[in-house]
Chains A and B, each alone.
Chain A
Amino acid sequence: MLKIADKTFESRLFTGTGKFSSAALMEEALLASGSELVTVALRRINVNDAQDDMLLHLKHPHIHLLPNTSGVRTAKEAVFAAQLAREALETNWLKLEIHPDPKYLLPDPIETLKAAEELAKLGFVILPYIHADPVLCKRMEEAGVAAVMPLGSPIGSNKGLKTIDFLEIIIEQSNVPVIVDAGIGSPSDAAKAMEIGADAVLVNTAIAVAGDPVAMAEAFKMGVIAGRMAFEARLGNQENFAVASSPLTAFLDEL
């Protein structure tokens, strides 16, 4: 079981809601994924409409909503959006994302840290989307975030764990759950992230744009389970030298 702030999760696969061809297909895929934490972009929903199509399709007892601030470019805008989300969706959980760069959507570390410090004081459970920067993750931890969400590669790129060396350092050093977010392109990427000790992964594009999003969601579900099992079972050590069956130095024992 994974615990973040006051919630526990059986599934370590978190999912996004963008890019699906319909809200119904999104719902079907999310149910197949088994995900219990689903992020939803504030800019895509109408918070004043109880009949908002996307929100209606996310109404399941096991699904917790994680509103995100995608679209904001500064800490000030993020704080404003977070307050709106808390009021409208009745949750103090927030995926904090500030990416002023519309091309690669890379997170702004300075504004994100500023926003995290401010939002922690306001009582939010903050999950910040950040670059795979080990020092920044420690600074986020000090700011009071509930987890960190370093990227595997640029968002939506499906390029996998390009930042793996830094993810390993982050996982080694972190006192809060580490959720690998962005760039995970296949169930094997997700499994790899879990094998190196990530607490969870967040996947959107790889499921939403798959030929069969529902089947892909299930494949990710299994990939995450397999990766976590492998981590818990403790993978055998990799060796940088051969362990020969007839050691060259065995003769020393006979002397």
Chain B
Amino acid sequence: MSFKDKFEAYDWEEVKVSIYSKTAQDVLNALLAQKRTLEDFKALISPAASHFLEPMAQLSRKLTQKRFGKTLQMYIPLYLSNECTNICTYCGFSLDNKVRRKTLSREEILREVNVIKSLGYDHVLLVTGEANQTVHTTYFKEVIELIRPYFSQISMEVQPLETAEYEELIALGLYSVLIYQETYHKEDYKKHHPKGKKSNFDYRLETPDRLGQAGILKMGLGVLIGLEDWRTDSFFTAAHLQYLERTYWQTRYSLSFPRLRPFSGGLEPKVEMTDRELVQLICAYRIMNEEVEISLSTRESEQFRDHCIQLGVTSISAGSKTNPGGYAVEPESLEQFEISDERSPAQIAAMIRERGYEPVWKDWDAVFKP
């Protein structure tokens, strides 16, 4: 049994019609419910809910503060490599994008780590493309062993791996893995991933199951907003999350909602999501799920991020570079995507404090995994 079995019982178009036919009464029922179902979630992300944005935001803020207090986790990505054997229509690292490729050496990684530590970070997110000849489990093991003394929490956003590979990395101190489905629309997924291992929709769909079986402490889910109808994609994300929470009950979960950003050789989003709609989605997820962590990257604008931190978001990045070597080694190399909020971590932390929240730089300890 994996999520694939549940997923195949759904029909994309039926789900979409069901979401778009929700009424104002359905939204009210969802807001007033004691325990909310996936049908309630559909109502909260429906066009009908756009008229309830303020009460949704108020409820989202209240639930978030009850669970997480007035705190925000700080994290930063460390891009290890832009090598990739996949073609993805929306990504700067795509194989058909003719750019210079680079994978950081041990010495270069430590130079990057040095800068990241000087910014105050204790949580790091390792990012690569998918190039199994150079960026493989052996490389990841070496990197985790190399940087573990410097960070209390190490997360990873790389290609899907096998259960046994995840087990090896977890044993070395890997805390969480982010694995985005990009879109749950199977046909469109294939259009956006015409070549490479990533073109296997089912393998990607079952990756969270493999992570759960490996005993990962936290996993991040999400779709890339802009590829397909965001409401339908978000419903499938919520259904996936609900299944995972019930199956792998010892794992924590996080969500993020990357909106398609410009990049070198890039694709225009098929679907535009407005700021109002993104706020609606953040609030809908929070109202549906009080425990899930919600993160917001530097893809979003300064003003948007400043306001979102009190709506339901629980973690935020700052000072991010999306190119390998971006902090110290090769600051001018190609980025995966353009970031929108270019403020420094110190500036972001000051903004968080001004708004009555505490930036949290450390919320884990490697000693918990002896």
Asked if A and B are interacting partners, one says: yes
Given contacts A44-B363, A81-B368, A102-B250, are A19 and B70 in contact (CB under 8 A)? yes
B69 with A43: CB separation less than 8 A: no
Q: Which of B66, B358, B360, B368 makes the CB contact (< 8 A) with A80?
A: B368
B368 with A44: CB separation less than 8 A: no
Q: Taking the complex as formed, is B55 at the interface, i.e. its CB lies under 8 A from any CB of chain A?
A: no
Chain A contacts with B in 1-34, Cβ cutoff 8 A? 18-23
Tell me the bound Cα distance from A205 to B66 in angstroms.
7
A209 with B368: CB separation less than 8 A: no
Q: Taking the complex as formed, is A73 at the interface, i.e. its CB lies under 8 A from any CB of chain B?
A: yes
Q: Which of B70, B353, B363, B370 makes the CB contact (< 8 A) with A43?
A: B363
Q: Taking the complex as formed, is B369 at the interface, i.e. its CB lies under 8 A from any CB of chain A?
A: yes
Q: Taking the complex as formed, is A121 at the interface, i.e. its CB lies under 8 A from any CB of chain B?
A: no
Q: Which of A21, A72, A156 makes the CB contact (< 8 A) with B368?
A: A72
Q: Interface residues of A toward B: which range?
A: 20 to 34
A45 with B368: CB separation less than 8 A: no
Tell me the bound Cα distance from A65 to B71 in angstroms.
22
B68: which A residues are within 8 A, CB to CB? 19
Tell me the bound Cα distance from A114 to B40 in angstroms.
41
B365 with A21: CB separation less than 8 A: no
B69 with A18: CB separation less than 8 A: yes
Q: Which of B65, B66, B360, B365 makes the CB contact (< 8 A) with A71?
A: B365
Q: Taking the complex as formed, is B111 at the interface, i.e. its CB lies under 8 A from any CB of chain A?
A: no
Q: Taking the complex as formed, is B362 at the interface, i.e. its CB lies under 8 A from any CB of chain A?
A: yes
Given contacts A71-B365, A156-B67, are A21 and B357 in contact (CB under 8 A)? yes
A209 with B69: CB separation less than 8 A: yes
Q: How many Å from the CB of A25 to the closest CB on chain B?
A: 8
B69 with A102: CB separation less than 8 A: no
Tell me the bound Cα distance from A110 to B66 in angstroms.
28
Q: Which of B249, B356, B368 makes the CB contact (< 8 A) with A77?
A: B368
B365 with A42: CB separation less than 8 A: yes
Tell me the bound Cα distance from A18 to B71 in angstroms.
9
B370: which A residues are within 8 A, CB to CB? 76-77, 80
Q: Taking the complex as formed, is A208 at the interface, i.e. its CB lies under 8 A from any CB of chain B?
A: yes
Q: How many Å from the CB of A78 to the closest CB on chain B?
A: 9
Tell me the bound Cα distance from A80 to B368 in angstroms.
7
Chain A contacts with B in 59-110, Cβ cutoff 8 A? 71-73, 76-77, 80-81, 84, 100-103
7 contacts between A and B (CB under 8 A): A21-B69, A21-B358, A42-B367, A44-B362, A44-B363, A73-B250, A80-B368
Chain A contacts to B: CB under 8 angstroms: 18-23, 42-46, 71-73, 76-77, 80-81, 84, 100-103, 156, 158, 205, 208-209
**What 6 A-B pairs have minimum CB-CB distances, sorted nearest first?**
A19-B69, A21-B70, A80-B370, A102-B252, A100-B250, A43-B365
